[in-house]
Amino acid sequence: VTLPEGIDPREAFDRLKAARRTLAPVVGADGGLVGLLTRSGAVRSTIYRPAVDASGHLRVGAAIGMNGDPARRAAELVTAGVDVIVVDTAHGHQDRMVEVVRAVRAALPDGFPIVAGNVVTAAGVRDLVDAGASIVKVGVGPGAMCTTRMQTGVGRPQFSAVLECSREAARLGAHVWADGGVRHPRDVALALAAGASNVMIGSWFAGTHESPGDLQYDADGRAYKESFGMASARAVADRTEGEDAFDRARKGLFEEGISAGRMYLDPERPGVEDLIDSIVAGVRSSFTYAGAASIPEFRERAIVGIQSASGYREGAPVPVSW
């Protein structure tokens, strides 16, 4: 069973179902292999589209730090074909970050998107946008692998941070990405309601077939992958591999993150696309409840209230036996 390139998604689904196949090769007019299409893929293509560039390739972002020569690295990455540069550090509202963003902006073509962060205040957004950032990454401490708030007391609840930062970004003609604290589709909807243009997902996607790392199994045979914070002792040890033992031991004392976390693959949703299905379904339903047809309209119409811990628990599903 093969499918012709450009086939209508509904027809492709019907052909696969009639043939009792879950997937089939897609071939071009010359008989060459174009790709594979599954029943789920046919349905997905009618609901949302991948983020692709003018050539049809998936868009790619590259993150750089503040050390070394970030402007040169950014320029080389743009030449290599990346679509967005992220100047990334845990504490983005500092003089060094502002200097680096200015240098990167000067080294890249006019209008090329530069993301900088992380910050949690309007002042942080203002300074980074003034330095040349077109997008500001918001979030200190909400990530699953992050222990910053517990160890330092530094950070801010994510919704409040996104709400304040997005208002300032909108005033300046910029955007914000909500980075961290996303564990359910509701968290994506709340970030969009607070004014985020995009939502970054880390640990939730770590437990998928596509994520980096070896697939491992626990004593019960459950598949998982290991994830760890980028400020954890494990990450610091990886970054300082070329230094002498004393300096490595010294830097290993200053950790802010979990060095080993098991991210179990959900048998029902083992891939990134499966999780995106769930996220899109939840967010679309949120839009329906608010009577919104677009992200800007959702932001205007959404009404967010405060609930207690018991109120949150009340809304969580509970298995019931009859």
Which residue carries 């709340």 as its tokens?
Answer: 190
CA dist., res. 107 & res. 244, Å (int): 34
The structure tokens listed for 219 are 């004593």
- Known catalytic membership, residue 165: no
Q: CB-hemisphere CA count at 13 Å for 105?
A: 18
DSSP 3-state of 121 = coil
The gap from C-alpha 96 to its chain's centroid, in whole angstroms, comes to: 25
Amino acid letter at 304? Answer: V
8-state DSSP, 84: E
Backbone φ and ψ for 172, nearest 5 degrees, come out as -95, 0
CA nearest neighbour of 189 among 168, 159, 165: 159
Set 104, 120, 146, 169: catalytic member: 146
Q: What token pair was written down for 12?
A: 């492709």
Tell me if 74 sits within 8 A of 133, measured CB to CB. no
Chain-centroid distance of CA 108 in Å reads 24
The dihedral through the CA atoms of 113, 116, 119, 123 has a sign that is negative
| Residues assigned a catalytic role | 146
